Amino acid sequence: MINRFRWHLHELDPSLDPSKASLDRAKTRAALADQLTRFDGLVAELARDILADIDRLSQAINALETRISHRVEEQAEGLIGLPGCGALTAAKIIGETAGVDRFRSEACYARHSGVAPIPVWSGNTAGRVRMSRSGNRQLNAALHRIAVTQIRLDGDGRRYYRKRLLAGDSSTEALRCLKRRLARVVYQTLKAQVQPAAGLQPAAA
């Protein structure tokens, strides 16, 4: 919808070129709505209709995100305190984990997450490992987002990543090691803090 709206704006006036991210702000949407009052015709009408839909959906999304944030704070506030883990990522982890008590160890949780190292025994690669392509890909993606964010931040995650690079790991190997480390931290955090929500049944594995 945002792409279609920006295209219609370009047809009406190429100087009106808001970034995609700026349309998340109500102030920007209101200013663009005022700008569109200057134009007549079908393209302007389409642009106004799409902008109204974007505004309506953005408000609904923000309200839902607020509800999710409050629920995550109740269930596992410690996850939000983990650098790089926002409320939506924390909610994804809780939902995809579907009850941390079903994992007997953090190693089992790492394997379920698809971040456990897989040995490679081919040619001259003895002793090396690779990323697992199995496991829960949604959970793996959540850990990946946290890892990539931590690499950008100035913290323990970034220092660990650089340490692995200095030890001779490739960027892919260093990222894998960081994700494996994060799986351990997430598992320990969930074991310590997550409480089952009343009336909710665990999701299927």
How is the chain split into domains, by residue range? 2-66, 81-193
What are the beta bridge partners of residue 74?
Answer: none
What is the per-residue pLDDT for 204?
46
What is the per-residue pLDDT for 200?
46
What is the per-residue pLDDT for 117?
79
Length of the chain: 205
What is the per-residue pLDDT for 194?
53
What are the beta bridge partners of residue 128?
Answer: 120
What is the per-residue pLDDT for 80?
87
What is the per-residue pLDDT for 131?
62
Q: Where would I find the H helices in the chain?
A: 2-12, 26-36, 42-80, 87-97, 106-113, 137-152, 156-166, 171-193
Classified as helix, coil or strand, 129 is: strand
What are the b/e assignments for 172-192, b being 16+ CB within 10 Å?
ebbbbbbbbbbbebbbebbee
DSSP state of 23: G
- Helix (H) / strand (E) element for 130: namely strand 128-130
Note the pLDDT tens digit of each residue in 84-103.
998 899 999 999 998 899 99
CA distances from 112 to 22, 131, 136 (A): 37, 13, 6
Q: Rounded to a whole number, what is the largest CA-CA distance in the chain?
A: 69
The whole-model pTM stands at 0.72
CA 5/CA 186 separation, integer angstroms: 40
Closest CA to 139 of 75, 190, 94, 86: 94
How far out from the chain centre does Cα 167 lie? 29
Rounded average pLDDT per 10-residue block, the chain, 205 residues: 94 90 92 94 95 95 91 85 90 91 92 82 56 82 95 92 92 92 94 59 47
